[in-house]
Amino acid sequence: MPLQPLRDDKGNVIPHNHPDILPEHGVIRRISEHFLVRDEKTEGQRISSMAFKPSTGVNGGLSVDLKHEIESAGHDARTYVTTPRWVGSVIFQAGPLRGEGFMIGADPIEASAEADANPYHGEVWGNFTTGKQRRLRRLCEWFVPLEGVSLDG
């Protein structure tokens, strides 16, 4: 059964550190091709800082997929986060993210007219300053790599 998030009286997910997301658990961030930029210094592509900015809604955070939950449900995590068209992804460990002051919790998405269900969806909440967005890039590594795209920058 997917992790159940902490909710307020109205049923909204509120920022929380879920105790069942352990420090060694993987936290996956999908990387759309729209997040890639060219850099003359490396003569190649890298990931824009926009890939690491949170949403602005009530209790908005950075959307992620919880690897341990995907695999516990019997799915292959790489296949899950790449289907149907998301071209790449990076992965963090929960421990170092929390070490930067972020909270990591569950936020399952129910199917709607606009979105498919994702019971393994999570959020990273915290203060996403410019400096922290840059440190996030240094904390992650490729999960589904994009050829020719650097994580540096």
Query: Is there binding between residue 59 and other proteins (CB under 8 A)?
Result: no
Residue numbers 114-153 binding other proteins by CB under 8 A: 114-116, 118, 121, 130-131, 153
Rounded to whole angstroms, how far apart are CA atoms 18 and 7?
12
The Cα angle at residue 131 between residues 87 and 149, in degrees rounded to 5: 25
Q: Which stretch binds other proteins (CB under 8 A): 6-14, 38-46, 95-103, 135-143?
A: 38-46
Question: Which residues are CB-contacts of 116 (< 8 A; sequence separation ≥ 6)?
Answer: 109
Nearer to other proteins, 23 or 138 (CB): 138
Query: Is there binding between residue 41 and other proteins (CB under 8 A)?
Result: yes
- Give CA 8 to chain center in angstroms: 23
37: closest CA among 24, 49, 25? Answer: 49
Give me the least distance between CB of 65 and other proteins, in Å please.
Answer: 8
- Give CA 40 to chain center in angstroms: 27
Query: Is there binding between residue 73 and other proteins (CB under 8 A)?
Result: no
Which residue ranges make up the site for other proteins (CB under 8 A)? 30, 32, 34-35, 37-41, 48-50, 53-57, 60, 63, 81, 86, 109, 114-116, 118, 121, 130-131, 153
